[in-house]
Every structure is written in C-alpha cells, then in structure tokens.
Amino acid sequence: MPVDEFTYAFIAKEENYSDNDYIIKEGTSGDWVYIILKGKVKVKKMTAKGLITVDTLREGEIFGEMILWQAGRGARTASVVADGPVKVGVLDTEALLKEYEKLSPRLKGLMKSLIKRLSETTQKAVTIAVETN
C-alpha cells in the first residue's frame, strides 16, 4: 500500500538497509517510528525455541510505533529485519507526539487500549507458534 500524504509529511529522514540488516533489535531502547517506503521487513521475536518470524510488513506499513505510545518508554518488544533491500522513512516523533497531545482523553485512551491489545495478540501468536513447532 502506498504511503499517504498525511503520513509522508511526518517523515524526518530516509534510511536504506540491505538484506538481513537489523532496523530494530528486540530489547534495545528507542522511540523511532518507521514507515516502509520500498521493500519489506520481517518482524521477529526471541523465544525459548529461538528467533521466530511473527509477521512480514510491506510498503506503506508502519513499525516501531508501540514504544512511542507507551508511558515511560522502554525496551523494544521485537526485532525488525530487512527482507531484501529496504528503504524506510523515520517519522518525526516530536511532531507525532504534538499531534497526539491534541487528541481528547477518550481518544488517547482508545489508542492506548488498541496498542495494548496488539501487544497481547502478538504475544499470544508467538506462544502458539512456539507450541506448534
């Protein structure tokens, strides 16, 4: 899916990665949010049985957003690895947070709930994947 104009306006810089380069490493800190401009990436999680692929993301999809909306920040919950050559846009987190602050408390609560649900669903999928392999 192509990047829409609204999201493109938040891109602060662009970065290129080669096949198998880590864009995000699970357990590291950081508050950058990315959008895929060209190529695809694999989202990976470390489990007791080793590293597993949770999802593949393509052009127009955003990753790294969960940490931005979590209070107090923290460690990244997954790794993101280039699957072939990839070009990403690094979103301006300061501008994103300014826009977020304009939202009503109810809408902020809804966003936090959706992020929490995404995190829980991802963890359930990882558990199922480990149990079936």
As a whole-number percent, the residues of the chain with pLDDT over 90 amount to 47
Closest among 5, 54, 13, 4 to 33, alpha carbons compared: 13
pLDDT at 72 over 70: no
pTM: 0.85
- Output the pLDDT for position 26: 93
The DSSP-derived string for 18-57 is: -TT-EEE-TT-B---EEEEEESEEEEEEEETTEEEEEEEE
* Domain with 34 in it: 5-132
Quote the number of domains for the chain: 1
**Residue 18 is encoded by which pair of tokens?**
């080669």
pLDDT at 58 over 70: yes
Residue 52, beta-bridge partner list:
45
Residue 55, beta-bridge partner list:
43
- Output the pLDDT for position 53: 92
- Output the pLDDT for position 71: 56
More confident residue, 9 or 73: 9
pLDDT at 124 over 90: no
More confident residue, 100 or 34: 34
Distance CA 118, CA 81 (A): 20
Distance CA 76, CA 66 (A): 8
pLDDT at 41 over 90: yes
CATH number at 20 reads 2.60.120.10
- Range of lowest pLDDT (6-10, 22-26, 50-54, 72-76): 72-76
Query: Per residue in 12-26, pLDDT tens?
Result: 999 999 999 999 999
